[in-house]
Amino acid sequence: MKLVRFGAAGQEKPGLVDSQGQIRDLSGLVPDIAGKSLSAETLDRIRQTDPGSLPLAPSGQRLGACVGQVRNFIAIGLNYADHAAETGAAIPAEPIVFNKAPSCIVGANDDVVIPRGSQKTDWEVELAIVIGERASYIGANEALDFIAGYCVCNDVSEREYQLERGGTWTKGKGCPTFGPLGPWLVTKDEIPDPQNLSMWLDLNGERVQDGSTKTMIFNVAQIVSYLSHFMILEPGDVITTGTPPGVGMAMKPARFLKAGDVVLLGIEGLGEQRQRFVAFEGHQVDASKSWKGH
At 114-153, the pLDDT tens digits run: 999 999 999 999 999 999 999 999 999 999 999 999 999 9
Beta bridge partners of 75: 98, 240
* pLDDT at 283 (0 to 100): 52
| CATH number of the domain bearing residue 212 | 3.90.850.10
**Residue 16 falls inside a structural domain:** no
Residue spans of beta strands (DSSP E) within the chain: 2-6, 13-17, 23-25, 73-77, 96-99, 105-107, 112-114, 121-122, 125-131, 147-154, 157-158, 179-181, 185-187, 198-203, 206-212, 238-240, 262-267, 271-279
Q: Where are the alpha helices (DSSP H) in 20-146?
A: 40-47, 81-87
User: Considering the chain, what percentage of its residues have pLDDT values greater than 70?
Assistant: 96
Beta bridge partners of 149: 130, 187
Cβ of 156: how many Cβ atoms within 10 Å? 28
Residues in the chain: 294
Question: How many domains does the chain divide into?
Answer: 1
Q: Please tell me the distance from the alpha carbon of residue 145 to that of residue 41, in angstroms, as a whole number.
A: 12
**Residue 61 falls inside a structural domain:** no
User: Considering the chain, what percentage of its residues have pLDDT values greater than 90?
Assistant: 90
- What distances in angstroms separate CA 6 from CA 108, 120, 147, 244, 293, one per listed residue? 11, 32, 22, 29, 15
Domain that holds residue 126: 67-293
Report the alpha-carbon angle 73-37-143, nearest 5: 60
3-state secondary structure of 52: helix
* pLDDT at 166 (0 to 100): 86
**Residue 92 falls inside a structural domain:** yes
Spans of the chain below 50 pLDDT = 284, 288, 290-294
The pTM (predicted TM-score) of the whole model is 0.94
Check: CB of residue 244 under 8 Å from CB of residue 215: yes
* pLDDT at 294 (0 to 100): 32
At 126-135, the pLDDT tens digits run: 999 999 999 9
**Residue 230 falls inside a structural domain:** yes
Q: Please tell me the distance from the alpha carbon of residue 79 to that of residue 241, in angstroms, as a whole number.
A: 7
**Residue 153 falls inside a structural domain:** yes
**Residue 8 falls inside a structural domain:** no
**Residue 133 falls inside a structural domain:** yes
**Residue 38 falls inside a structural domain:** no
* pLDDT at 281 (0 to 100): 86
Q: What are phi and psi of 73, to 5 degrees?
A: -120, 100
